Amino acid sequence: MDFRMPKSFPGYTIADYRQAQRQFSRMNGGKQRRIQQALFMNGHTSNILESMVGVGDMVLLDPLTEEACINNIKRRFYAEDIYTYIGQVVVSVNPYKKVPLFSPSTIQTYRGRNLYELPPHIYAIADDAYRSMRDRNRDQCVIITGESGAGKTEASKIVMQYVAAVCGKGEEVDRVKEQLLQSNPVLEAFGNAKTLRNDNSSRFGKYMDIEFDFKGDPIGGVITNYLLEKSRVVRQTEGERNFHIFYQLLQGAPQSLLNKLRLSSMCEKYGYLKQSHCVVVDTIDDAANFQVTENAMRVIGFTETEIQQVFEVVAAVLKLGNADFESYISFNGTEACSLTNEQAIEEVCKMIQCDPEQLKQALTNRTMDICITGLSERVVSTLSSGQAVYARDALCKAMYSRLFSWLVGRINDSIKVRTRGKKKVMGVLDIYGFEVFEKDNNFEQFVINYCNEKLQQIFIELTLKEEQDEYVQEGIEWTHIDYFNNSVICQLIEKKNTGILAILDEECLIGGNASDHSFLNKLNEVCIRHEHYESRKKKSCRSDKTLPYDCFRLRHYAGSVTYNVQGFLDKNNDTLFRGLSQTMFGCDHQLVKKLFPDGNPRRQTKKRPPTAGTQFKNSVAELMKNLLAKNPNYIRCIKPNDVKSPNLFDDSVVRHQVRYLGLMENVRVRRAGYAFRQPYDQCLQRYKMLCPNTWPNWHGHPKEGLQVLLTHLRVKPTEYAKGRTKLFIRNPRTLFDLEERRRDKMEDLAIIIQKVFRGWRQWKLYQAMRASQIVISAQFRGYRQRKSYQLQRSSAITIAAFFRGWKARQLYKQMKYEKLCIWSVGIIRKYFLGWQARKLCRQLRHEKRCIWAANVIRAYYIGWKVRKEYRKRFRANAAPKIVSFLRNCVRRKYLLFLHSRLAALPRSLLSKEWPRSPLICHTTNKHLRRIYHGWRCRKYREMLDEETRRIMREKLSASEIFRGRKTLYPETVPRPFKGDYVQLRQNVNWRRLTETTGESEVYFSDIVYKINRSNAKDSLRLMVLCDTSMLIVNQKTLAIKYRLPVTEVAGISVSPYMDNLFVIHINQTGEEASRKGDFVFHSEHLVEIVSKLRDQAERAKGAQVPVRISNTFNAQFNGKGIQVEFVETGLNGKMPVCKRKDDQLDVLV
């Protein structure tokens, strides 16, 4: 066994490790371990490094220089030893070939072994992290960093494969492990692509939290993805490829699936795949990988329908990329465009179940809601061919990125934890590496490098700064080691208000005149004095010709990167036209509808969504918070060259990575520091069983207890240091010794626990048997007593029942007699009260008659007395009586005269003749005249037939609409409403047509003039109003031009003048008629058709239909808002003249 020395410390030689190797060997097939009290403490000399190439742990390098570090990595690379330690950090070099370091037997070799027991390997750090999580109950994370092409994705897969191999077994556990592992092929297919530096480059960041139960078995997980490079969907650099899934689908899908998706296996037929002139890659088998991806989706839990829908979305993206546009000048002078290959759009629409016209409209036009004086107005503007290509690309990017996010969410639904309880977590971070291109470093490279800066900051905080700060805080003697702290670069990018991201968001919010150039100018104003920011405006860079004027340069921890600001604002805004999202939401395709919830009209919000940069900054902040809450384990990946050669080690390339990864500073800190530290109470709690004085409990201070424990174990004072709150152990060998002793002691304690448990179990068994005997005796005695009690109780119940029955019968007889007595008393009382009431009534009646008689006598007496006393004064009352008499005579005579004249009055309702009346009957005459007129109207209505009644109702409806509002109306009052002016009901061809249309009744038919929407010219058409719809028909052939359901009528507009022009407003529902907009007609029977159309629409809709009478109103022509204005010019009786100009329709009447 090749045992690698972990660190170099004074007082220890290579012989120590040889002795450790012998004492770590297992005896009798691994069933027994030797007591290791003298482990690592002797001084014999030997050499175990004879077969080692270079140094396995660079902490042991001598001399410690950058050149020695690179040479050590180089020697091990050529010997296929691609892993090297820096303490507990693994440095991994990409071999660009398969090496014999990964096999099930190798996994079993590293399983359960200490970190430095075997040669450096990812398996070792994965096992250490897994056991720390399982045994010490500490959440872990494995952070894998490095440049693009350094092998980070493969390293993450190796970690996951190892964890899956060493954890427990079981049906549910195996299911979870398989789903966790199979998530990698799916995410690689949809998120990886071939770049110039890496044939399988991750174009997104992935952080996976694997959750374990208390036994260390996986029970689920959560995957978080970061910033998919969706711009790759529509554009790739020369020599690179699009995402793998496009090529896998075309090369590996069976022909039946390709036929369903209407795809060809030739990648050159698709614009999004042929632009980079790289389709086939020697190291990638797309056909085989498609089978792997499809099988992985099934293992994860995707249904066949979901898999089919995912491939349909991928195919839709490919076909949308073939849509081309050509520009033309529209009738109003603006630039517009149209599709040159509509077949591609129609195939896409069939696949995603979308209306082709609606998608074409959304791709060639832009709909915006503009708020003017508090009112929201929708404006539709045409797009040029370039703008349409931008809209097409934005839609494809949105579809693919949202599909990828949906895939991650769907995988999370399958692998999420389904049980409750305390969980342990082990995270694996595989995120894109630092990227710098010779030219065209854009927004994507900016945010990717920002993320790497944050990861480097965490590495500095936890491995360099925090460790040194901890030594100082704990009072440990320490010599400070200098290192570069990149927090200033992070602040330059993310600082609130003055950071680059904040300035970029501010420019995006301004809109209008904001541009990439104005963004660069704002950067120059705010950041020009920062030492890590450079541009041509900076004095020191004005003569630097390598820095273009439209670029700025950041001095990252990994080196300087020049960023071209072109496209920064557009990519940060991540704009998708609202019409496109609404069109996608309107699809019947279930998955596409889910991908665009923002297209739901009911969920419209005016709140501006966060920009892409802000979203990514928040995601990175959440990731950093998550990582800081866990114990980190680092894998630092290095690529040996830029040409992906397995036999080339470029010193300059590796030197650059060694510098910006801070490996030398890490080596210095590890070399001078302590391998292990832990609070006194936790450390004592873990190792207290190794000393009889501290076992089972130590009642003093934990620091004193640990001193007693270390003294008992004969650990040299030079091997540890005591801080204020923690114990520091210098050498990992000492820690391994403690762990081995603890493991052996735990076996002894397990035996004691087993003995005590067996005794306790027997005692519990005896107690249970004794309790059972007591329970049985008690139950028997209770049973016997219950039987005796039940017999006595039964007898008592029988006797009591007979007694209660006798008593109840006696009571019943008594109650029956009392009831009869009460009834008799009631009858007698009723008759007595009746006699008494009648007697009282007779008495009261007699008294009343006496009083009445007395009043009469009194009245006659008073009258006689008054007449006798005032007889002389009776003449004064004669005049009123005479006047009253004369008035009654006049009224009687008037009524008789009126009765004689009524028969001679005309019966016409319009007649105003009425007999004159005397002055005193004037009020009565007015009331009688009104009553007579109402009676005459009622008689007239009773004589009318149903058809006449209908006409009268229509006349009344017309009066309500037009009376006093339109000058033309008085002339139309005498005209009868005929309805069917062209005798359509008798037409044989019409009766045949009604059999197909289902319209049985004709309410109105006439030849009208239809005004053309685009040029305002008129043409003769036959208008027919039926039960449920209005038909516009060719007057000669009776061919239906338009069929408009009356429920789609939103309103009617006419002018107040003498013209016969009217506009029918239509609801914008997507039908052919409604898409073209409102109708404009000219008819001699305007009043009749408007009133009938309004009544039909209100009956069909159950709601009012407004009729607007104004000289100016708005209309919709072909999706555009048009203002119709009537101008009175004196053309009475003539056809109005219509003129169309831009968004104005003038009508001269």
Query: Rounded distance, CA 926 to CA 924, Å?
Result: 5
The verdict on whether residue 149 carries a ligand-binding annotation is yes
Q: Tell me the β-bridge partners of 206.
A: 225, 430
The verdict on whether residue 216 carries a ligand-binding annotation is no
Query: Rounded distance, CA 385 to CA 449, Å?
Result: 34
Query: How many Cα atoms sit within 13 Å of 401 on the Cβ side?
Result: 21
Among candidate residues 117, 240, 435, 507, the one labeled active-site is 435
Query: Rounded distance, CA 1033 to CA 1061, Å?
Result: 19
DSSP 759-796: HHHHHHHHHHHHHHHHHHHHHHHHHHHHHHHHHHHHHH
Question: Do you know the residue count of the chain?
Answer: 1149
Among candidate residues 56, 87, 149, 191, the one labeled active-site is 149
The verdict on whether residue 153 carries a ligand-binding annotation is yes
Three-class SS state of 314: helix
* Local structure of residue 873 (DSSP, 8 states): G
The verdict on whether residue 498 carries a ligand-binding annotation is no
Is residue 959 annotated as part of the catalytic site, yes or no? no
The verdict on whether residue 146 carries a ligand-binding annotation is yes
Q: Is residue 314 within 8 Å of 403, Cβ to Cβ?
A: yes
Query: Rounded distance, CA 521 to CA 78, Å?
Result: 50
Sign of the dihedral defined by the CA atoms of residues 64, 67, 70, 74, in that order: negative
Is residue 153 annotated as part of the catalytic site, yes or no? yes
Is residue 105 annotated as part of the catalytic site, yes or no? no
The verdict on whether residue 1074 carries a ligand-binding annotation is no
Among candidate residues 72, 94, 153, 581, the one labeled active-site is 153
Q: Is residue 383 within 8 Å of 344, Cβ to Cβ?
A: no
HEC-encoded secondary structure of 197-222: CCCCEECCEEEEEEEECCCCCEEEEE
Q: Is residue 1093 within 8 Å of 1025, Cβ to Cβ?
A: yes
Residue closest to 1078 by CA, chosen among 1119, 1027, 1110: 1119
Residue 842's Cβ-count burial label (10 Å; 0-12, 13-18, 19+) is: exposed
Residue 1070 CA from chain centroid, whole number: 27
The verdict on whether residue 152 carries a ligand-binding annotation is yes
Residue 730 CA from chain centroid, whole number: 51
Query: Rounded distance, CA 829 to CA 982, Å?
Result: 90
> What's the token pair of residue 1044?
């408009």
DSSP β-ladder status, 1029-1033 and 1061-1066: unpaired
> Reading across the β-sheet that carries 676-679, which strands appear in turn?
676-679, 726-729, 720-722
Query: Rounded distance, CA 497 to CA 504, Å?
Result: 10
Is residue 433 annotated as part of the catalytic site, yes or no? yes
DSSP β-ladder status, 1079-1082 and 1004-1011: antiparallel
Three-class SS state of 701: coil
Query: How many Cα atoms sit within 13 Å of 797 on the Cβ side?
Result: 6
Query: How many Cα atoms sit within 13 Å of 336 on the Cβ side?
Result: 17
The verdict on whether residue 256 carries a ligand-binding annotation is no
* Local structure of residue 417 (DSSP, 8 states): -
Query: Rounded distance, CA 950 to CA 1019, Å?
Result: 32
Is residue 911 annotated as part of the catalytic site, yes or no? no
* Local structure of residue 441 (DSSP, 8 states): B
Residue closest to 553 by CA, chosen among 536, 566, 572: 536
Among candidate residues 54, 433, 662, 979, the one labeled active-site is 433
- Contacts of residue 600, Cβ cutoff 8 Å, sequence gap at least 6: 585
Q: Is residue 1091 within 8 Å of 958, Cβ to Cβ?
A: yes
Residue closest to 99 by CA, chosen among 49, 162, 158: 158
Q: Is residue 1009 within 8 Å of 1020, Cβ to Cβ?
A: yes
CB neighbours of residue 486 within 10 Å? 23
Three-class SS state of 556: strand
Among candidate residues 92, 148, 694, 1074, the one labeled active-site is 148
């928040």: which residue's tokens?
Answer: 618
Query: Rounded distance, CA 219 to CA 462, Å?
Result: 29
* Local structure of residue 986 (DSSP, 8 states): G
Among candidate residues 84, 156, 183, 198, the one labeled active-site is 198
Q: Which residue type occupies 928?
A: L
Active site residues: 148-149, 153, 198, 201-202, 433, 435
Q: Which residues are annotated as a binding site for ATP?
A: 146-153
Pick out the residues of the known binding site: 146-153
